[in-house]
Chain A
Amino acid sequence: MKLKTIALAGTMSLMSSVAFAECAYENTVPLKSLSAGFEAWKVVTDAMAECGNFEASLDQEFREKQPEAFAADPALYQIGGVANGTMVPLQNAGTIRPLDDLVAKYGQNLTPNQLIKVDGKVMAVAMMVNAQHLMYREDILTDLGLDVPGTYADVLAAAAKIKEAGVVDYPIGGTFKTGWNLGQEFINLFLGEGGEFFGEGNLPSINNEKGLAALEVMKALTEYMDPEYLVSDSTYVQQQFQQGKIAMSNLWASRAAAMNDEAESQVVGKVKMAGAPMGSAFPATTIWWDGIVLAANQTDEQAEAAFQVALEGMDEEVVKANNDTSIWLIPGYVPGELAAGAAASAGAGAKPYPSSVPFGILHTALGNGLADYLTGAKDAATTLADIEAAYVTAAKEAGVVE
């Protein structure tokens, strides 16, 4: 019987939340941050909060709120958490400030790899990278005498063998949930084929043999997936892995640690990481970064304080205490087994996620349009043509296409 007294614990937590631990100094300028809410941000903002006078909003609606809140004068948040894509609207609206001075003054411990530069100016400081790569059940592949798949042809061949052997429910798991996830899968494969998304004047160029090849691979993969793939997001695929229902998946590096979490996983130590399967030209994946930006609409004193607090949150101590939470870019990180997949993909030439205004629109159009092909409502060429048409309508409304 291990029920602890909730009342007692409640008072304890109140006491611990006002303690200022582990921060090198005490911050006196009131600061706020707005970022996404996944584990790495929780770790980093908790560390920032230890400096005092700091409130973090880990908000699932941050994408919608950030551009507006940073455009207000003064900005409602001094620190923002962004990724490749979400920095674009802030950068375009000029609501984030260049950080060169602050980096020169306080950033001795930052590595050059962390500095996100736009036209030579440092606009953001990255803390971590994330990428999809192959995760596989080492025990199953060994039992069946299969090599670790290096290309999608290998993946499909291995899947056929696994299905025949009948050792798991579904050989492949995929983050094919309609919307952002599904669009992302196509982008991975299209980049893997060496495709270029845009032609002249931001007009789309996905309706070609590379696009068709990407679609064919997607369809072939779904044959080996849980038939409910159109509602499977990364959490669901991760759960399927943990419950031993799938054998392979091109899944996010940030999910790797969960495979070995004894509290929820039944396959501890059996899941191994490899680089993302190759398309005909590149690994079929994109590299993402997450990092911080500072609002333009704040005083220089605030910005200075904000930058120092942010660096406290992203220092060596924090990374050492949370090494496996993500693939950190911060000095002190020891890449372990779990980072092997991301490293292999990067080594094979994986590209960064190509964020831009038109690309955001294309990603949405892909996410909404691809399901029709997978359900069999449309053939491949019609699907791609319809997605291009949807893109053009939206892009005209946004003003990026004449």
Chain B
Amino acid sequence: MTQAVHRQPLGLRVLSSGFLIFWCIVAAFPIFWITVMSFKSPVDAFDGNAANVIFGPATLAAGKGISILDILVYLALAIWMFRRIARMLPDMVLSYSPQGRQWLGWLIGAAVTGLVVVVTFFALLPAVLNVLNPLVGPLGRDVWGFTTEHYQTVWVDRGFFRNFQNSLIVTLGVVTVSLTVGTLAGYGLARSGSTLAFWILIIALVFRALPHSVLVAGYLPVFINSAEILRPILGDAAPTLYGKPVAVIAVLVAINQPFTIWMLRSFFQNIPAELDEAARVDGCNHFQAFRRVIMPVMWPGVITTGLFSFLLAYNDFLVTSLLLDAQNQTMVPAIAGMFNRETTTTDQVVAVAAAVSITAPLFILVMVFQRQIVSGLTAGAVKG
């Protein structure tokens, strides 16, 4: 492409970057703000004055603050670690992960990095600084209200880790099953020109438009009594589905199928049919052709679709809150529960901390898969 297409007048460039900056602020501000709130005492967190929320005078007065030394050490270490990670991680991932499965390497790399960061920042540094602070005089005096006690309440006292595990089980289950079932169906639909295929797609689209609350309320009595209902078929092994993650996974996969098959069908349509036809001329049947020829090239589309499934399962509230009991509860209903209880202001800040925590895995996920999302979409997962 020649430079001419790119050349732009100054006014347009200023306007364009101005809008970009404005949008970035708008996009990030609410998340930034609840993160700030989560580190303050209840009085500061809900103060009407922005400066009080940021600097946290009441938090500081309660003896929870950090000193200039703390800030400097943390900042320096954060910058140093960021640089190290940015330089070393890609190389390590590339050299250690198996060919063609680099996203797996990235995922493991990100998890390990996350762990190292958490341990250093929350375990090692505080211990070191506790010793150092009294030694450096005024620099060691607390100046900025800051407390991680709410995170501790969430993860330690409230057992949020169990909710995290449950979320992980449900989400991974949904993504795996949804993609397996959806990929097959998407491929089948893309390669079949029959009117039946068309109508399946249309009906799926209508299903996607259904209000979920209608469907979900119908599940509850059936799932609670499933042992009785299924006894004639399965005998005494009939399970009570209510409260089981498996049941929620099945429901979420079903609810998510319409979107999945539409995305994947468009994607497969953009893979030339000549590819698998050639394989079939060589004597493969449809399934062999799918495995040998299509599977190696389908990952960009599958990963993009998988991300949407992930978001749906991870963020779901309606289905999980109704069909899981407390022992298997996932994170979103757990947080909503913290608000709906006869809450105190402290509970609310704790819930804010939980809300920030639940966003962190999404952050990592998007960082890792950002490029795949765009390339998957570009490769045609959304050709309408």
Contact = CB atoms under 8 A, between A and B. Distances in A.
A338 to B, nearest CB: 14
Interface string B344-371: 1110100000000000000000000000
Contact of A38 (B119, B151, B228, B342): B342
Interface stretch (A54-62, A97-105, A160-168, A301-309): A54-62
Contacts of A13: 156-157, 159
B152 A9 contact: yes
Contacts of A118: none
Contacts of B227: 72
Contacts of A65: 220, 224, 322, 325
Given A8-B123, A64-B322, A1 B228 contact: no
Interface string B308-341: 0000000000000110011100000100110011
A236 to B, nearest CB: 10
B321 A60 contact: yes
Nearest to A57: B326
Contacts of A263: 41-43, 62, 346
Contacts of A29: none
A255 B345 CA distance: 11
Contacts of A243: 46
B126 interface: yes
A102 B327 CA distance: 29
What 3 A-B pairs have minimum CB-CB distances, sorted nearest first? A57-B326, A38-B342, A3-B126
A59 B66 contact: no
A60 B341 contact: yes
Contact of B345 (A60, A234, A264): A264
Given A1-B133, A9-B152, A69 B242 contact: yes
Interface in B206-242: 220-221, 224-225, 227-228, 240, 242
14 contacts: A1-B67, A4-B126, A4-B152, A6-B122, A7-B123, A10-B161, A59-B325, A60-B340, A69-B242, A73-B228, A235-B344, A238-B345, A239-B345, A258-B345
B224 A5 contact: no
Contacts, number: 128
Interface of A: 1-10, 12-13, 17, 34, 36-39, 55-61, 64-65, 68-69, 71-73, 76, 234-235, 238-239, 242-243, 252, 254-255, 258, 261, 263-264, 266
Q: By CB atoms of chain B within 10 A, which of A3, A9, A39, A73 has the most? A: A3
Interface string B92-136: 000000000000000000000000001100110111011001000
A1 B130 contact: yes
B344 A5 contact: no
Interface range, B side: 35 or more
A197 B326 CA distance: 37
Contacts of A3: 122, 125-126, 148
Contacts of B325: 34, 57, 59, 65, 76
Contacts of B127: 5
A71 B240 CA distance: 13
A239 B348 CA distance: 11
A235 B340 CA distance: 9
Nearest to A2: B64
Interface in B62-95: 62-64, 66-67, 70
A380 to B, nearest CB: 32
Given A2-B64, A10-B161, A38-B341, 12 more contacts: A1-B66, A1-B67, A1-B133, A13-B159, A36-B341, A60-B333, A60-B341, A61-B322, A68-B220, A68-B225, A76-B224, A235-B344
Nearest to B147: A2
Report which residue of A9, A261, A264 has the largest number of chain B beta carbons within 10 angstroms of its beta carbon. A264
A13 B41 CA distance: 23
B55 interface: no
Nearest to B129: A1
B187 interface: no
B155 interface: yes
Contacts of B63: 2
A290 to B, nearest CB: 11
A56 B156 contact: no
A69 B325 CA distance: 11
Contacts of A71: 224
Given A5-B126, A242-B345, A72 B337 contact: no
Contacts of B148: 3, 6
Nearest to B222: A68
Contact of B348 (A34, A56, A235): A235
B288 interface: no
B326 A59 contact: yes
A264 B222 CA distance: 44
Nearest to B224: A68
Contacts of B147: 2
B157 to A, nearest CB: 7
A266 to B, nearest CB: 7
Contacts of A58: 326, 337, 341
B344 A264 contact: yes
B344 A6 contact: no
A37 B337 contact: yes
Contacts of B16: none
Contacts of A36: 341
A322 to B, nearest CB: 14
A80 B362 CA distance: 37
A393 to B, nearest CB: 20
B343 interface: yes
B74 to A, nearest CB: 10
A13 B153 CA distance: 11
A264 B42 contact: yes
Contacts of B221: 68
A273 B205 CA distance: 58
Contacts of A242: 345
Contacts of B344: 235, 238, 258, 261, 264
A242 B66 CA distance: 26
Contact of A72 (B66, B159, B228): B228
B238 to A, nearest CB: 12
A14 B125 CA distance: 24
A10 B155 contact: yes
A7 B116 CA distance: 12
B108 to A, nearest CB: 20
Given A243-B46, A264-B345, A5 B228 contact: no
B60 to A, nearest CB: 12
A264 B326 contact: no
